Amino acid sequence: MRAYILRRLAQSVLVVWAVTTIMFFMFRVMPADPTAILLERGLTDEARQALLERWGLTGSLWDQYIAYLGNLLQGDFGASFFYRKPVWEVLFPLIVNTLWIAVPGLLLGAAIGAAIGTAVGWARRGGKLERSGIFLATVIRGVPNFVIGIALLTVFSSTLGWFPGFGMGDPGETTGFARYLTLDFLHHLTLPLVAVIIYFLPENLLLMRSGVVENRTEDYIELVRAKGVPQRRVAWHAARNSMLPLITWLFPALAETIAGIVVIEIVFSWPGVGRELVLAVTRQDYPLAQAAFFLLAVMIVLANLAADLVYGKLDPRVVYK
């Protein structure tokens, strides 16, 4: 088990290094000049040259790469060209903002989806519940998530006026972590969170349903029924055995979410890391974009490792070699 984890960690380092390298060179070959966005502010040629030197963009590509890797190993992501601040200072609050909608959204989406999926899978084959469940899940999955976002905004913000339409609200006097505990924040959080839940729900529902449908005809379900336990308990056995594929899906999804809910962040003007990533790329803000991609890669790799380990806990038949 320990040898397994160590080997997987070593592999992970390799993967992250590869991603970092590819990212670095991809941004450098893009035909644009990061100082261009500052031109309108009346940058002189000397000042521009000075900036390039300060940002470490003057040496050969190879020298730049070595310097970048060296800094990265010391935990230094550099400074954002655009914000003129260390990248970490820019990214950290944005990551927190994103996690606020990503983590609860994903977990609730998975939990609600799995619960409904179990009910749909356990329902009579060809019955009303099964047919309407599959129909709704398929339709929702087919709708682009910005449409869901706009629909939520139209109904609950513009028309009914129940929830605010954009941003995270005014922190006012409260600063730091306390702002996340205000009612105002939760009020702003509701609609984007619901959008993320709806985004993840159908996938989980369908995965769970097909698992339950497959498992309900297994011999062991027949024996559980024969034992005379309540029906809910029988359905639970089928659900428990259908959860395994959901787990392998869940962890990588958590990491991919950060990038995947960009659209929802944009629709709700939610100041998250996904939205910033897109902006950083268009602004040629290499350090910021590279750092964001680096973090994404680390998260995805770790999430996959975590999924494999949790899988072993859920399915006693899994052996680590």
For binding to other proteins (CB under 8 A), which residues are involved?
A: 124, 218-220, 222-231, 233-234, 237, 240-241, 314-317
Nearest to other proteins of 88, 249 (CB atom): 249
Nearest to other proteins of 46, 219 (CB atom): 219
Q: What is the DSSP string of 95-117?
A: HHHHHHHHHHHHHHHHHHHHHHH
CB of 125 to other proteins, least distance (A): 8
Q: Torsion angle, CA of 152/154/157/163, rounded to 10 degrees? A: 0
What is the Cα–Cα distance from 265 to 254, expressed in whole angstroms?
Answer: 16
Taking the mean position of all CA atoms in its chain, how far away is CA 8? 22
CB of 218 to other proteins, least distance (A): 7
CB of 227 to other proteins, least distance (A): 4
CB of 240 to other proteins, least distance (A): 6
Nearest to other proteins of 85, 233 (CB atom): 233
Nearest to other proteins of 170, 315 (CB atom): 315
Token pair for residue 234?
A: 């029988």
Q: Torsion angle, CA of 295/296/302/306, rounded to 10 degrees? A: 130
* Contact predicate 75/146, CB 8 Å: no
Token pair for residue 105?
A: 């959204």
CB of 150 to other proteins, least distance (A): 42
Count CA atoms within 13 Å of residue 253 on its CB side: 21
Nearest to other proteins of 140, 244 (CB atom): 244
Other C-beta atoms closer than 10 Å to the C-beta of 216 total 20
CB of 311 to other proteins, least distance (A): 11
Residue burial 245-263, b: 16+ Cβ < 10 Å; e: rest: ebbbbbbbbbbbbbbbbbb
Nearest to other proteins of 15, 310 (CB atom): 310
